[in-house]
Amino acid sequence: MTGPGATLRCAGLGVRLDDSVVLRDVTLDLDARTIAVVGDNGSGKSTFARVVAGLVRRTEGALEVCGRDPDTDAAGHRRRVALVLSNPDAQIVMPTVSEDVALSLRPERLARAERDLRVSEALVRFGLGGLGDRAAHDLSGGQKQLLALCGAFVRRPRVVVADEPTAFLDARNARTVAGHLLADTGHTLVLVTHDLALARRCEAAVLFADGRVVASGVASDVVDAYDTALSC
Ligand SMILES: Nc1ncnc2c1ncn2[C@@H]1O[C@H](COP(=O)(O)OP(=O)(O)OP(=O)(O)O)[C@@H](O)[C@H]1O
């Protein structure tokens, strides 16, 4: 694949895990800042998200994320990409809120003052100002997901891959988290979601079924196609 970097470009991409073919012949060319990934349970969305994030290697085909092949510079790719999962408990590593956010900045080897400033600015931005010294596991579910976003965005990632980030949240927290993910802060968003109203708010979408792409393009068109398939 050549030419200027579209956001997400795949040609004949396939993934085999433990001798099972999980993704097959995924071909896409999307140039959009926000991309939803939709489809039934088990259709391959999370696997695709992990390939985009550089956590799972494809076994076939070509892939470019913002013009770069994750496999040619895997470490650099992981530095540019942040991953947000549905279960924020799985993402909390450090005892306190601010230590947990600071951990995300460790690879940048910042001076302590700059690191502390970046952490406190991020906490305020995600509504956690004043909670820096709290035990991270004592936060509410919604606050924990905001902490996960804080840890993702404090690194100023080029790409954010979010896998069902609102799945366990109430309507208010889901709206807050979605607002942060969709806001234009210079990142590209790849958002796996079962929330079709949220998917419609993205610019583009991809619909998976049985490990294949069955529709891709403008988000509202793709979600309409999925809605139609669901009612058949
Ligand atoms: N390590 C693995 N080995 C074999 N098969 C796997 C592995 N990981 C996932 N799969 C299978 O790949 C298929 C796609 O899984 P994936 O988690 O990507 O789907 P999904 O669309 O994200 O589903 P959900 O909406 O339920 O989260 C499933 O059938 C799953 O069982």
The neighbouring-strand residues paired with 63 are 10
Q: How many domains does the chain have?
A: 1
Please report whether residue 3 resides in a domain.
no
Choosing from 16, 43, 59 the residue with most ligand 1 atoms within 8 A of its CB, the one to mutate for a pocket test is: 43
Q: Which pLDDT does position 130 carry in this prediction? A: 92
Residues spanned by the domain of 155? 8-230
CATH number at residue 16: 3.40.50.300
Mutate to test the pocket of ligand 1, among 13, 21, 22 (most ligand atoms within 8 A of CB): 22
| Residue-wise pLDDT tens digits, 99-112 | 999 999 998 899 99
Residue 3 is predicted with a pLDDT of: 45
- Centre of ligand 1 from the C-alpha of residue 48, in Å: 10
pTM score, whole prediction: 0.94
For the chain, which residues score pLDDT lower than 70? 1-5
CA dist 99 → 102, 119, 149 (Å): 5, 9, 14
Q: List C-alpha distances in Å: 200 to 36, 91, 109.
A: 8, 27, 39
Query: Is the distance from CB of 11 to CB of 65 less than 8 angstroms?
Result: no
Residue of 117, 11, 105 lying closest to 60 (CA atoms)? 11
For tokens 């902490």, name the residue: 147
Residue 206 is given by DSSP the state E
